[in-house]
């Protein structure tokens, strides 16, 4: 009795900490193997970066976790439930902000709430608080066309946070922006997600960016898209941009680059 109780508790504890679990996860598009037998776990509160060259299967992996692309084989669960389609506990953000041009910033943030039912005063205050969080406190009633690309992506981030999913999947969310804006938004993103205590999976093809943001880096190599390595990132948080020049950081960048050159010659 005691043993079975202990086992139940141990299982409950394990499922409380592992939020995404993939075993032998496969995806083919015809003869193209986009993701080849990936095995991984993501724990609650972790920030994972997925890095790899164009076409190695990063977006496909993310879209499978989001339930937007069905897998071809293997198993995949999120919060202990098998992934069979899009779901409320997972929020996704892509490279383009996809805001409604005829709605104000705050109405855009409240759109998913409005689609589900009535927007309460509490929803409005929460949306305003999220706009403050992403540095857009003065733009709640502006229209998207009055905002820069980086500001529009912040609106998309506030909209994503308003949904309240505990897992955020971010597919090169700042990829279309210049380097200065991207660095700045990456810093803000890491602050915001650690405050919000969510689990994040961030796709990029930039090695420094991947390492700078993450607790663990999933390194993918192409043809076929393989999860070649999971690299732990040991630097404490909060991180400052000066970390980019730290010799240990530079070494880690070289290590990840090395995995690519080995993956490509294999």
Ligand X SMILES: Nc1ncnc2c1ncn2[C@@H]1O[C@H](COP(=O)(O)OP(=O)(O)OP(=O)(O)O)[C@@H](O)[C@H]1O
Answer for which of 55, 74, 135, 149 binds ligand X (CB under 6 A) is: 55
The binding track of 3-42 with respect to Mg ion, each residue x by CB under 5 A or -, is: ----------------------------------------
Q: Do 173 and 95 contact (CB within 8 A), yes or no?
A: yes
Residue 7 tokens read as 């086992």
Name which of 158 and 217 has its Cβ closer to Mg ion. Answer: 217
CA-to-CA distance for 99 and 119, rounded, in angstroms? 18
Report the candidate in 149, 198, 199 with the shortest Cα–Cα distance to residue 174.
149
Minimum distance from residue 151 beta carbon to ligand X (Å): 24
Q: Does 57 bind ligand X (CB under 6 A)?
A: yes
Name which of 26 and 171 has its Cβ closer to Mg ion. Answer: 171
Answer for which of 56, 111, 136, 140 binds ligand X (CB under 6 A) is: 56
CA-to-CA distance for 263 and 266, rounded, in angstroms? 5
152 binds, among Mg ion, ligand X, none (CB under 5 to 8 A by kind): none
Q: Does 59 bind Mg ion (CB under 5 A)?
A: yes
- CB-based contacts of 209: which residues, under 8 Å, 6+ apart? 49, 182, 186
CA-to-CA distance for 187 and 190, rounded, in angstroms? 5
Minimum distance from residue 54 beta carbon to ligand X (Å): 3
Determine the longest span between alpha carbons in the chain, in angstroms. 65
Name which of 35 and 147 has its Cβ closer to ligand X. Answer: 35
CA 107 to chain centre: 24
CB hemisphere CA count around 2 (13 angstroms): 0
Rule CB under 6 A: which of 173-212 touch ligand X? 205
Name which of 57 and 91 has its Cβ closer to ligand X. Answer: 57
Minimum distance from residue 35 beta carbon to ligand X (Å): 7
- CB-based contacts of 37: which residues, under 8 Å, 6+ apart? 24, 25, 26, 74, 226
173 C-beta neighbours (distance < 10 Å), count: 27
Minimum distance from residue 153 beta carbon to ligand X (Å): 17
CA-to-CA distance for 200 and 194, rounded, in angstroms? 9
Interface region with Mg ion, contact rule CB under 5 A, candidates 44-52, 53-61, 204-212, 228-236? 53-61
Q: Does 29 bind ligand X (CB under 6 A)?
A: yes
Rule CB under 6 A: which of 214-233 touch ligand X? 225
Binding site for Mg ion (CB under 5 A): 59
Name the residues that contact ligand X, by CB under 6 A.
29, 32, 34, 52, 54-60, 205, 225
């Amino acid at each position: 009795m005691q043993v079975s109780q202990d086992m139940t508790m141990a299982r409950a504890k394990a499922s409380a900490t592992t939020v995404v679990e993939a075993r032998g996860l496969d995806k083919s598009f015809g003869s193209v193997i986009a993701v080849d037998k990936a095995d991984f776990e993501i724990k609650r509160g972790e920030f994972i970066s997925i890095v790899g060259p164009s076409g190695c299967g990063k977006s496909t992996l993310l879209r499978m976790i989001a339930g937007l692309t069905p897998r071809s084989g293997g198993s995949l669960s999120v919060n202990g439930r098998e992934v069979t389609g899009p779901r409320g506990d997972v929020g996704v953000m892509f490279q383009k902000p996809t805001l409604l041009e005829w709605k104000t910033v705050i109405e855009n943030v409240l759109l998913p709430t409005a689609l589900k039912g009535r927007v309460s005063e509490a929803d409005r205050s929460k949306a305003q608080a999220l706009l403050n969080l992403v540095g857009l406190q003065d733009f709640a009633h502006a229209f998207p066309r009055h905002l820069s690309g980086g500001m529009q992506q912040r609106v998309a981030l506030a909209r994503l946070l308003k949904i309240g999913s505990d897992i955020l999947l971010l597919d090169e969310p700042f990829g279309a922006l210049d380097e200065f804006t991207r660095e700045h938004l990456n810093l803000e993103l890491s602050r915001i997600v650690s405050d919000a205590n969510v689990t994040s999976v961030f796709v990029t093809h930039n090695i420094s960016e991947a390492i700078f943001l993450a607790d663990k880096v999933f390194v993918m190599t192409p043809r076929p898209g393989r999860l070649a390595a999971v690299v732990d990132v040991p630097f404490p948080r909060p991180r400052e941009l000066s970390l980019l020049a730290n010799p240990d950081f530079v070494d880690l960048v070289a290590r990840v680059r090395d995995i690519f050159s080995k993956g490509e010659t294999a």
